[in-house]
A and B are shown apart, each in its own frame.
Chain A
Amino acid sequence: MKIGTREREGVTILDPKGKITIGSGDVALRDSVRGALDSGATKILINLEHVSTIDSSGIGELVAAFTTVSNRGGSLKLSNLSPKVTDILQITQLITVFQVEDSEEAALSAF
């Protein structure tokens, strides 16, 4: 998996594509979030529009990213979740923990 990084309106946006699953996508996501934080980012949006599959390891990385960013005084949001990724988060009651927005525009406005 490759994760693009871009800046918009003072927000660092991560664009993962493919699967965030054990052994590949989960590590890539961890590295991307760490890279953004090391670059001084405090507002991070993970755009999940092109993520087809996420497993418990991927969910774990999202949780770790959320707590790491929050502990540093920053803010992390998710946007553009597919119905199945939404279901995965709902089942483990994480949909209420993460700040989830329907679109990138909505997420940017919410920071």
Chain B
Amino acid sequence: MSSRRLLHCVWSESEEMAVQDWQVQLALESRFENIELVQVVLDDSLRRLECDEDTRYWIGIAVREALANAIKHGNRQDPEKRVEVKLEIEDSDLVVRIVDEGSGFDPSLIENPLDEENLLKPNGRGIFYMGKFMDEIRYNFRPSGGTELILRKRIAPMPSSSEDTEEVVE
């Protein structure tokens, strides 16, 4: 079995669709290598949305951090556990939803990496970067288990295009 595995990918877009109907969904095994797959899909999506290079780069960093947290802290790098990713447009915002199967955490316990006592710690900057590069980050801790992270970023409207594809990679 390949060490890098995209379980499921759905790209929904058509000429007749409104911008709000565009979305991409991915389901991944909890492996760091899969972050690169999401980056490729994300960057391609943002190009289609006519985002400039800087915007694509910083959104990419934020999503990279979110996925790393979902895989490392949420799913404890258990490849049997999935990370689900959904990209869509809501009111000119790019919305990225990332769901893991972890038990969640208390956001109030997250330390500020800019505090003097934290400045030279090797960890603890991921959520900080997400907050800097996105307009909004929000966590939903599901009662049944699993954590949903929602990242929002205002971007330019999506141009029309025509393509409907669904792909399953095993």
Q: Given A22-B35, A56-B126, A60-B125, A93 and B119 touching (CB < 8 A)? A: yes
Known: A53-B61, A84-B57, A91-B129. Contact between A22 and B121, CB under 8 A?
no
Interface presence of B107 (CB below 8 A)? no
State the total of A-B contacts with C-beta under 8 angstroms. Answer: 59
Complex contact A55–B64 (CB within 8 A): yes
Q: Are A63 and B132 in contact (CB under 8 A)?
A: no
Q: How far is the CB of A55 from chain B (nearest CB, A)?
A: 5
Secondary structure type dominating chain B contacts: helix
Q: Which of B33, B120, B123, B129 contacts A23 (CB 8 A)?
A: B33
Q: Which one, A23, A56, A64, contacts B35 given CB within 8 A? A: A23
The contact of A92 among B31, B65, B72, B128, by CB within 8 Å, is: B128
Interface size class of B (residues with CB under 8 A): 20 to 34
A59-B125, A60-B123 are known contacts. Are A92 and B114 too (CB-CB below 8 A)?
A: yes
- Residues of B near A110 (CB, < 8 A) are none
- Given contacts A23-B33, A92-B128, whether A57 and B68 have CB atoms under 8 Å apart is yes
With A67-B120, A84-B57 as contacts: A92 and B125 at CB distance below 8 Å: yes
Contact A94-B119, Cβ < 8 Å, known A56-B125, A56-B126, A57-B68? yes
Q: Is B159 engaged at the interface, CB distance under 8 Å to the other chain? A: no
Instruction: Flag A51-89 by CB within 8 Å of B: 1 or 0 each.
Output: 001011101110110110000000000000000100010
- Cβ-based interface call for A21 (8 A): yes
Contact present for A91 and B64 (CB under 8 Å): no
Q: How distant is the Cα of A23 from the Cα of B129 in the complex, in angstroms?
A: 18
A78 CA / B127 CA spacing, docked (Å): 25
**Distance of A56 Cα from B114 Cα, bound (Å):** 14
Judging by beta carbons under 8 Å apart, are B61 and A55 in contact?
A: yes
For B72, list chain A residues within 8 Å (CB).
22
Cross-chain contact B32 with A22 (CB below 8 angstroms): yes
CB-contacts of B15-35 with A (<8 A): 31-33, 35
Min C-beta distance of B52 to chain A, whole Å: 13
**Additional 7 contacts, C-beta under 8 A, given A55-B126, A92-B129:** A21-B35, A21-B64, A24-B33, A56-B65, A56-B125, A64-B122, A94-B119
Which residue numbers of A lie inside 8 Å of B, CB to CB?
A: 21-24, 53, 55-57, 59-61, 63-64, 66-67, 84, 88, 91-94, 97
